[in-house]
Amino acid sequence: MTLALAIHGGCGTLPKAEMTEAEWAQARSDLASALRAGWTILSKGGPAVDAVEAAVRVMEDSPLFNAGHGAAFNADGEHELDASIMDGATLAAGAVCAVKRIKNPVAAAKALMLRGDPLLLAGPAADIFAEHEGIDTVENDYFSTERRRKNLSSMKIRELVGTAAEASEAEKHGTVGAVACDAQGHLAAATSTGGYTNKPVGRVGDSPIIGAGTYARDGRCAVSGTGKGEYFIRYCVGHEIASLMAYKGLSLEQATQEAMAELTAHKVGAGLVAVDETGHIVAPYNTDGMYRGWVTPDGLMHVATHADVEMAGQA
């Protein structure tokens, strides 16, 4: 089997002028660190589900992505985080939503997956579950950054003057995710997010919804999405791609193109990373850019923010 790992740090990447070159370099470095964390597990024969968790944890810890530290603020100026993970070998999955104190929500999602039941826990119940499992918890302001605070102010002004609909994907959204194929040909996917800036309190998007923003099934594909979550839920994007492959006989590339075309036709900003059982990777998006990266079978890392893809050394 061909080992494969791909990640995204959200579509709707900021225009290049809005961050310094040092900040862009740091974003690419953090993507490379996430790839290295996942690839280390895969290259030693470890399972895909451990690799995607490891990659997502690194991005949750980076202040440059909308997940974990650096997550978006809701309308009340707090952070409510969502995450999920799925093992394509067994269809086991775990998810948390609207959590406020879990340092790495993907770790809590994985703990739920291993427990087996329930699959999804929300809000305070998920925070308490994480504490009981010995998973690190923090105060809510741990997730705050100055950039996200400015995003919140900007969105509140847009709301007042009636231009919220014109906000860029970069101002509103952001998600991180990973997909992998391991040495046994097993697939896995994981996704984590802070939702969108100025979202209503209690809003839950597609990232913790199995079959929408996250899906993995051996013999088909593993998918992690980013963009306007409500549409990923309506179109069941992850499951749709897997179904197009299974029932229509499409390749991964064809299936993802078909799913993305539907979103694009409805003017939905979106992107995703996906992998099939042969280790083939795709990373389509329809916005100005998407933080993304992947490792080729020779262990060479590739990372990108906008159109240009650059080599990032050996994983």
pLDDT of residue 58: 98
**C-alpha to C-alpha distance for 241 and 244, rounded to whole angstroms:** 5
Beta-carbon count within 10 A of 152 CB? 18
Q: Residue 124, preceding bond cis, omega within 30 degrees?
A: no
Phi, psi angle pair for 70, to nearest 5°:
105, 10
CATH number at 4-314: 3.60.20.30
pLDDT of residue 170: 63
Q: Which two tokens stand for residue 157?
A: 């002004």
pLDDT of residue 104: 98
What parts of the chain have a pLDDT lower than 70?
1, 13-15, 17, 168-171
**C-alpha to C-alpha distance for 165 and 232, rounded to whole angstroms:** 18
pTM of the model: 0.95
pLDDT of residue 169: 64
What amino acid positions are annotated as catalytic residues? Answer: 175
Domain ranges of the chain: 4-314
Cβ proximity of 277 and 185 under 8 Å = yes
Q: Is 309 exposed, middle or buried (0-12, 13-18, 19+ CB in 10 A)?
A: middle
**C-alpha to C-alpha distance for 188 and 88, rounded to whole angstroms:** 5
Phi, psi angle pair for 86, to nearest 5°:
-145, 135
**C-alpha to C-alpha distance for 2 and 307, rounded to whole angstroms:** 26
Beta-carbon count within 10 A of 25 CB? 11
Cβ proximity of 144 and 161 under 8 Å = no
Cβ proximity of 47 and 182 under 8 Å = yes
